[in-house]
Structure 1
Amino acid sequence: MSSDISVNVQNLSKCYQIYDRPRDRLKQFVVPRLQRQVGMQPQQYFREFWALKDVTLEVRKGETVGIIGRNGSGKSTLLQMICGTLNPTSGEVHTTGRVAALLELGSGFNPEFTGRENVHMNAAIVGLSPDEIEARFDDIAAFADIGGFLEQPVKSYSSGMVVRLAFAVQAMINPDILVVDEALAVGDEKFQRKCFTRLEELKARGTSILFVSHSAPSIIELCDRALVLDRGARIMYTSPQQAIRAYQKIIYAPDKDYQHLVQSYVAADQSGEAPAIERDFPRAVETSEKAAAENAAIFDPGLIPETTSVYPIQGAEIENISILDENNNAVNVLNAGSVYQFEISGKFIDNFSGVYFGMHIRNVSGAVITGQKYPEDGNFIRAVQGGSAFTVRFSFNMSLIPGVYFVGAGVWSAEEPTCAHRIMDAIMFRVSAVGKPISFGYVNLSASEPRLEMV
């Protein structure tokens, strides 16, 4: 292995034996042996499930690699084999230096031991001597910042306290390789920021970091390269931006397009060239002005939310919610900076008075980014007749930062029943970038490019 490579994974695979019935496990243990002894072809009583298959990658010293993929794609299996806590079915893993891992909440902690005792035990496991542990203990305790709970059994900790102490132990021992598997999602915002600052410090001193996250901004900001896994296979190992683009297209692809997408990305990964699929599907992120000008909003049938919640019909019914471009075409892949109409249509079943309509846009964590009402606050539609249809349009300048968002809408009344009908997460849409990104967060409020004056 090259001296500048800290992690070398070659054709790594992991297969599990799945038994449909408990007695099949006993049969598998006994019957095939007897069949071999009498010269018969041994019978198999299990099904094979390949959690990971023929995955190869290298991580350079000081490099941060993001690992992304939907649930069940093999991310955790890969990390466990790199850390040595899981044996591969085939393939090889070679690591250089001290490996520290934060694989799951509370892993490696004895719940009956105090926080102090668990710090000593975990630090010893990764190879620190008693003197080294004592020298670094104050830094670990300060980083965890759990106060007097450090002297209490871990079983009395909250989930946030467990992850604080676990990260503090692994990150403050200055490992050569640090593996983090989604555990930071448990901590609060202040602690997450503290963790990412520490990751940057470790990266600067030459630590290799393998980082699993479903957060596209975190992968892009923190990582040098990213590995896309799907159904146990390596799809791409490339720049974070291109990996996120591939991941988003794969998870939202209709079944009829899935295989075509995967084959194109795998072929591009093997050849080192741009994926052919990028010429067939709209880009999630555009970096050139020319490409952005040619990128029209489209409708992607794969963008279907799984969190839709329909409220009871109490005198009105929303029948359709859609997003329309300037040509009145239904779209759900939108260009940043363009104007779109969010249309809600339906019918009133009963007579109503004091009616108003509303819609909102939420991010993936559920926070309301923006919304509109009609009429404006304090005003109402005085009377509507049962049997009448309605269509209301809300106009939005798409100033959202590129990403995925969800739309909900409702019909309300100032009188009972106050909620005539409501649908949460009725549709989802994705905002694509146009030009170079000049803002971050959720919305782009910039009026012009920043200017610098020096005297």
Structure 2
Amino acid sequence: MKDDTAMQDMPSDGDVSIRVSGVGKCYHIYARPQDRLLQFLLRGRRQFYREFWALKDIDLTIRRGESVALIGRNGAGKSTLLQVISGVLQPTGGSMDVRGRIAPLLELGSSFNPEFSGMENIGLSASVLGLSEEQIAERREAIIAFADIGDFIHQPVRTYSSGMQARLAFAVAAHVDAEILIVDEILSVGDIAFTQKCTRFIREFRERGTLLFVSHDIGAITALCDRAVWLSGGTVVADGVPREVAHHYKAWMAGPQQHMTAQDFLETLKTAEAEATEVEAEAEAEAAVEAEVVVTQGGPDGETALVQTLDAQVQTVFRRDVLSSGEGGAKILQAWIEDARGTPVSMVNGGDLVTLCIEAEAQQTLDSLIVGFGVKDRLGQTMFAWDTTKTDLVIPPVNVGDRFRAGFRFHFPYLLGGTYTTNLAIANGTSDMYIQHHWMYDALEFHVQWSTVAQGLFGIPMDGVSLAINP
């Protein structure tokens, strides 16, 4: 963060879009309704309220063109911060510098008069966002078409569903030439067609403007944003790459450590990850020596070459130093993909018969073992996932120190060519209730060759195509 002098010296054409410095927001909480009157009558002599700080000394700099997500549990201060940045709320303390027209999509209908029709609210909301009467007239039809709510556009907004209000609000925001777009959970209330339309607009907007995005959908955050800020208790806990920040946030939410503050948990988790990385590095070095000894003492040259090739191929796709979480009752040691002949590969094609192998060791007795995986694309979107609870496989109890290997054999789907990663998981319990013991994020990386079959995310193999002219 830069100091106040740097902020004052920032040129008008600088690349900083939003700068928040030491911002706090305090609310007065009254135990009884009459305490408000007593506070008014006796102010300065006695305090009849307690203070609740929704935001505490927030420092945040967002550069022009950045897409930044705010994550955190309900009550963390996300919406309050967005309202302060958009000018809906005045901060109790601190300062802000916002450069550019803001289009805030905050609480549904916050800029609408419920008694006005949708048509009338288009003019009201657009004027609040800075459009002139002439500009509103020019864009009214485009806004109506984007909202796509039919004849309801002439009905009072109080008769709208939450999805219809979201459609109208987003339609207005999409046509005001905003330089900063603020989206607060609005995508969660619409149908799939609306969500897809809004997502397409957001992707296009990212090319020319600054995006502030609040959502509990981690997949949407990793797909749409290049930075994530984790808020808890009105303070910034972490600020960084969405995948890493989201991992730490989910680990805190999922684990029994919720009695710890987010800051303490994150510090503990980072220390544990650093120590684990050192241990993994030492283990890999020892394993490499042992492997060399085994290879050296191996049988015929053909077998030695095969072992060397196997090890080289596996090591290129599996990474032990990735982010991970869990209770530690099991540890994933290795993972790889085999082709139909049982040879490890790092490149697959749609339709190939493959086996995804996961090798692990039990650190405690697991009486209801679950092994699973999920394949993700480069944007972090899950393409498909599977685990042993979805099969008829009967798994006997696994004892402390036992090593086990799970193999998932399937025809690989027709995916768009590119690089994919795989989450790996070991748990104990049932599909409805389980304890996660080792979850590794993006541990297995592989490539899918480009295929003309795949257009979009998935391709569908055709058994045949027919064409009849004048049948």
Bucket of the pairwise TM-score, normalised by the shorter protein: 0.5 to 0.7
2:325·2:437 contact (CA, 8 Å) conserved in 1? no
- Alignment deviations for residues 246-269 of structure 1 (CA, whole Å, 9 cap, x no partner): 22233234348835x6158589xx
Determine the structure 2 residue equivalent to 1:292: 319
Q: 1:432 to 1:337 in 2, by over 3 A?
A: farther
**Residue 338 in structure 1 maps to residue 338 in structure 2:** no
Return the alpha-carbon distance in structure 2 between the equivalents of residues 107 and 55 of structure 1.
24
Determine the structure 1 residue equivalent to 2:190: 187
Kindly report which structure 2 residues correspond to 1:32-431, keeping only aligned pairs within 5 A, or say none: 32-33=43-44, 35=45, 43-205=46-208, 207-255=209-257, 258-259=260-261, 262-263=263-264, 275-276=270-271, 278-280=273-275, 292-293=319-320, 299-300=326-327, 338=358, 343-344=367-368, 371-372=389-390, 374=392, 397=407, 401-402=422-423, 409=430, 424-427=432-435, 431=439
Return the alpha-carbon distance in structure 2 between the equivalents of residues 256 and 163 of structure 1.
33
Q: TM-score, normalising length from structure 2?
A: 0.64
Select the structure that is richer in helix.
Answer: 2
1:289·1:435 contact (CA, 8 Å) conserved in 2? no
For residue 358 of structure 2, what is the amino acid of its counterpart? S
Q: 1:369 to 1:115 in 2, by over 3 A?
A: farther
2:72·2:230 contact (CA, 8 Å) conserved in 1? yes
**Residue 450 in structure 1 maps to residue 449 in structure 2:** yes
CA shift at 1:398, angstroms?
Answer: 7.4
CA shift at 1:59, angstroms?
Answer: 1.2
**Partner of 1:135: helix, strand, or coil?**
helix
Return the alpha-carbon distance in structure 1 between the equivalents of residues 372 and 85 of structure 2.
44
Return the alpha-carbon distance in structure 2 between the equivalents of residues 164 and 79 of structure 1.
20
Q: 1:436 to 1:298 in 2, by over 3 A?
A: closer
Return the alpha-carbon distance in structure 2 between the equivalents of residues 373 and 245 of structure 1.
28
Return the alpha-carbon distance in structure 1 between the equivalents of residues 330 and 83 of structure 2.
46
**Partner of 2:57: helix, strand, or coil?**
strand
**Partner of 2:320: helix, strand, or coil?**
helix
Q: TM-score, normalising length from structure 1?
A: 0.66
**Partner of 2:243: helix, strand, or coil?**
helix
CA shift at 1:324, angstroms?
Answer: 6.3
**Partner of 2:123: helix, strand, or coil?**
helix
Return the alpha-carbon distance in structure 2 between the equivalents of residues 403 and 125 of structure 1.
49
**Partner of 2:260: helix, strand, or coil?**
helix
CA shift at 1:155, angstroms?
Answer: 2.1
Q: 1:4 to 1:402 in 2, by over 3 A?
A: same
**Residue 9 in structure 1 maps to residue 20 in structure 2:** yes
CA shift at 1:133, angstroms?
Answer: 0.8
2:371·2:426 contact (CA, 8 Å) conserved in 1? no
2:319·2:444 contact (CA, 8 Å) conserved in 1? no
1:64·1:225 contact (CA, 8 Å) conserved in 2? yes
Return the alpha-carbon distance in structure 1 between the equivalents of residues 217 and 427 of structure 2.
16
For residue 192 of structure 1, what is the amino acid of its counterpart? T
CA shift at 1:129, angstroms?
Answer: 0.6
2:323·2:441 contact (CA, 8 Å) conserved in 1? no
Determine the structure 2 residue equivalent to 1:308: none
Determine the structure 2 residue equivalent to 1:38: none
Return the alpha-carbon distance in structure 2 between the equivalents of residues 435 and 404 of structure 1.
10
1:11·1:53 contact (CA, 8 Å) conserved in 2? yes
Return the alpha-carbon distance in structure 2 between the equivalents of residues 296 and 82 of structure 1.
32
CA shift at 1:138, angstroms?
Answer: 2.0
Equivalent pairs: percent with the same residue?
36
**Partner of 2:390: helix, strand, or coil?**
strand
Question: Which of 30, 42, 56 is equivalent to 1:19?
Answer: 30
Return the alpha-carbon distance in structure 1 between the equivalents of residues 385 and 449 of structure 2.
28
Unaligned runs of 5+ in 2: 1-6, 279-314, 334-355, 375-381, 399-403, 410-420, 453-471
For residue 236 of structure 2, what is the amino acid of its counterpart? R
CA shift at 1:425, angstroms?
Answer: 3.8
2:422·2:442 contact (CA, 8 Å) conserved in 1? no
**Partner of 1:211: helix, strand, or coil?**
strand
**Partner of 1:72: helix, strand, or coil?**
coil
- Alignment deviations for residues 26-80 of structure 1 (CA, whole Å, 9 cap, x no partner): 33222344x4xxxxxxx32222111110011111111111111111110001001
For residue 175 of structure 1, what is the amino acid of its counterpart? A
CA shift at 1:171, angstroms?
Answer: 1.8
**Partner of 2:113: helix, strand, or coil?**
coil
Aligned residues: 355
- Alignment deviations for residues 140-166 of structure 1 (CA, whole Å, 9 cap, x no partner): 122111222212222222222111111
For residue 450 of structure 1, what is the amino acid of its counterpart? Q
- Alignment deviations for residues 167-225 of structure 1 (CA, whole Å, 9 cap, x no partner): 111122120111100111111222212111111211212x1110001122211121121
**Partner of 1:237: helix, strand, or coil?**
strand
**Partner of 2:177: helix, strand, or coil?**
coil
